[in-house]
Amino acid sequence: MTVADLSTTDRYPTRGSDSALLERTDPTVWSGGPTGPATRDELAAHDTKGFHVQEGLLSPAEVQTYWQELERLTRDEEVRADERTIIERSSDEVRSIFEVHRISPLIGELTRDPRVLDRARQILGSDVYVHQSRINYMPGFRGTGFYWHSDFETWHAEDGMPGPRAVSISIALTDNFPFNGGLMIMPGAHRTFVSCAGETPEQNHKTSLKQQRVGVPSEEAITKLAYEHGIEQFTGPAGSALWFDSNCMHGSGNNITPYPRSNIFIVFNSAENSLVDPYAATAPRPNHIASRDFTPLQR
């Protein structure tokens, strides 16, 4: 595959010689699609801030069931040896397991659960498919965070996602405290696309999933957005969920507390926003990181 022609097709150029702040040209909440469970206030918050919290998505019994599944996966030697599993740089702890909705039938069912699928369709105004799924572990004492970034910048540059018509859900399987590496997010910054400087290295995903070095906003851009929008943090009990736009500026710190933090992470992309050639990479990332099976999900 070849890099897309930036001069004619790229509305969100990035990975060039300079960084820039560009105005987003796409909606956040898309109209004209199917109805769903999100309330008018939730949709309004999602449109304004780029995210909203769904309290009590999973019952305590469901949380326990999914937690046991995560524990099973981390103990499975075949899963640990799979290329879809990412190990922490500084320890032998599992950091993430990608394409987990295909590895685990239980989590596969969750992607089609009406409480999840119908809300994704409602936000994106169309049928959807799973662009990416993973489980994230942040163990106590040794869990490392992620620097500030926009997921869409990477998905656009390296996967060929045309526009930010995608939404992510992070489902907490442990309590999220302000002090155990919880996700920080800048409300309203999703309306600005941060174009990042630097050429995409070959096979960048092999290192970026442990520590991202390319596609990282400049400190000047982060400072400007933070002072303009502020920073909020996703906290709450296990079973709650954060829905956030693909272009949200977010990050997380290290977890030096004894309290682990784990979540199920699913990215839904609109069926009308399917991937093309990467916009700033010579080849697309593997399918388990960025799916090219665009078949819409059905209940």
| pLDDT single digits (tens) 122-142 | 999 999 999 999 999 888 887
For range 140-168, the mean pLDDT: 93
Residue 178 amino acid letter: P
Which tokens go with 277? 């050639």
Q: Are 243 and 172 in contact (CB under 8 A)?
A: no
- Report the largest interatomic distance among the alpha carbons of the chain, rounded to a whole angstrom: 52
Q: What is the mean pLDDT of residues 47-66?
A: 97
pLDDT band, very low/low/confident/very high, at 10 (cuts 50, 70, 90) = very high
**Dihedral-angle region of residue 32 (phi above 0 means left; psi in -120 to 50 means alpha; beta otherwise):** left
Least confident of 83-87, 155-159, 173-177, 263-267: 83-87
DSSP state of 210: T
Contact at 8 Å (CB) between 150 and 294? no
Give the pLDDT band of residue 211 (cuts 50, 70, 90). Answer: low
- 144: pLDDT confidence band, cut at 50, 70 and 90? confident
State both tokens at 23. 């105005």
Does residue 168 or residue 94 have the better pLDDT? 168
pLDDT bucket at 2, cuts 50 / 70 / 90: very low
The contacts of residue 104 (CB under 8 Å, 6+ apart) are 69, 73
